[in-house]
């Protein structure tokens, strides 16, 4: 609850012609609350133009953005895995390069971006063996502050507190995004010369960035998935998940890559 004087001040600023974003920024009150104060009865808008949205990070005007913790966590992991942000003359582009042999995954990444940025066009471009899913928005650097020059494993990848909160609220979605980009599920076969060889499913996540691997391990810890991490001499980390209960949980929440 906000003190009545804050609401009164908000109504004054609204009356003075400030938009919801500006009032929200000045008073440190969520924009939704300002909107409710402006229209307390949830009255139908009677065809009035929709309230202009603003970016939750930089407060500048923006097209609609809509993030559940799960959608944000999955999109962040997808960006950290296979995504690149690049500046164009007037805006910014997020490109996610996916293996063309996983059509369902490509479609789901397209839908994921579509849910998060419902007013932005999502493009799918085929390149040999690879499909680029991309979207343009000048607020992409606000949403992914880990962007920067060079490769991700050559710079620190540190989440901001608001990102940590969203990932902590939806660890499975973060794990799903990690496995779908830099991970895989595969069949392990025990030594065929043994008396009773058998096969079992394992998951692996692999990345050159220790920071990204740590984020993956933290999310696995949070949901009780048992992991074993190794780094090869060339600096590539690989995280194996092969305990039966952990694999069963991964199969349920992450699924296979198709
Ligand atoms: Zn922004």
Task: Determine the distance separating the centroid of ligand 1 and the alpha carbon of 141, expressed in angstroms.
Answer: 7
Q: Is residue 60 included in any domain, yes or no?
A: no
Task: Determine the distance separating the centroid of ligand 1 and the alpha carbon of 61, expressed in angstroms.
Answer: 8
Domain co-membership, 105 together with 158: yes
Domain co-membership, 39 together with 107: no
The pLDDT assigned to 51 comes to 56
Q: Is residue 135 included in any domain, yes or no?
A: yes
Domain co-membership, 100 together with 137: yes
Q: Give the CATH number of the domain where residue 129 resides.
A: 3.10.28.10
Separation CA 126–CA 103 (nearest Å): 11
What does pTM read for this prediction?
0.79
Domain co-membership, 188 together with 76: yes
Domain co-membership, 170 together with 233: yes
Which of 11-20, 87-96, 142-151, 202-211 is least confident? 11-20
pLDDT in tens, 168-227: 999 999 999 999 999 999 988 877 677 777 788 999 999 999 999 999 999 999 999 999
Domain co-membership, 16 together with 142: no
Provide the number of structural domains found in the chain. Answer: 2
Task: Determine the distance separating the centroid of ligand 1 and the alpha carbon of 55, expressed in angstroms.
Answer: 5
Task: Determine the distance separating the centroid of ligand 1 and the alpha carbon of 113, expressed in angstroms.
Answer: 16
Q: Is residue 258 included in any domain, yes or no?
A: no
Domain co-membership, 32 together with 107: no
The pLDDT assigned to 41 comes to 46
Task: Determine the distance separating the centroid of ligand 1 and the alpha carbon of 43, expressed in angstroms.
Answer: 29
Q: Is residue 56 included in any domain, yes or no?
A: no
Domain that holds residue 42: 4-51
Domain co-membership, 142 together with 17: no
Domain co-membership, 40 together with 152: no
Task: Determine the distance separating the centroid of ligand 1 and the alpha carbon of 23, expressed in angstroms.
Answer: 17
Q: What DSSP assignment string belongs to the chain?
A: ---HHHHHHHHHHHHTT--HHHHHHHHT--HHHHHHHHSTT----TTPPPPPEE-TTT-SEES-----HHHHHHHHHHHHHHEEEEE-SSSEEEEEEEETT-HHHHHHHHHHHHHHSTTS-EEEEEETTEEEEEEE-TTHHHH-TT--SS-GGGS-----HHHHHHHHH-HHHHHHHHHHHHEEEEEEE--TTSSS--EEEEEEEEES-HHHHHHHHHHHHHHT---EEEE-TTS-EEEEE--HHHHHHHHHHT----
Task: Determine the distance separating the centroid of ligand 1 and the alpha carbon of 45, expressed in angstroms.
Answer: 26
Task: Determine the distance separating the centroid of ligand 1 and the alpha carbon of 56, expressed in angstroms.
Answer: 7
% the chain with pLDDT above 70: 93
């Amino acid at each position: 609850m906000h003190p009545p004087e804050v609401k009164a001040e908000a109504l004054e600023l609204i009356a003075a012609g400030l938009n919801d974003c500006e009032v929200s920024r000045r008073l440190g009150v969520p924009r939704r609350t300002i909107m409710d104060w402006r229209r307390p009865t949830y009255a139908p808008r009677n065809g009035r133009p929709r309230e202009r949205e603003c970016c939750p990070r930089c407060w500048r005007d923006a097209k609609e953005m809509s993030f559940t913790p799960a959608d944000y966590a999955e999109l962040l992991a997808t960006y950290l895995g296979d995504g690149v942000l690049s500046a164009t003359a007037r805006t910014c582009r997020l490109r996610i390069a996916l293996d063309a042999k996983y059509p369902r995954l490509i479609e789901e990444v397209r839908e994921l971006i579509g849910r998060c940025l419902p007013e932005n066009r999502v493009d799918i471009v085929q390149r040999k063996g690879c499909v680029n899913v991309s979207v343009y928005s000048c607020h992409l650097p606000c949403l992914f502050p880990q962007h920067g020059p060079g490769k991700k494993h050559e710079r620190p990848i540190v989440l901001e507190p608001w990102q940590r909160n969203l990932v902590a609220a939806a660890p499975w979605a973060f794990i799903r995004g990690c496995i779908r980009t830099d991970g895989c599920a595969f069949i392990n076969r025990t030594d065929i010369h043994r008396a009773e060889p058998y096969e079992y499913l394992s998951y692996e996540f692999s990345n050159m960035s220790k920071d990204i691997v740590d984020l993956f391990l933290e999310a696995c810890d949070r949901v009780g998935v048992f992991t074993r991490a190794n780094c090869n001499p060339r600096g590539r980390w690989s995280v194996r998940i092969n305990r039966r209960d952990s694999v069963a949980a991964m199969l349920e929440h992450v699924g296979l890559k198709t």
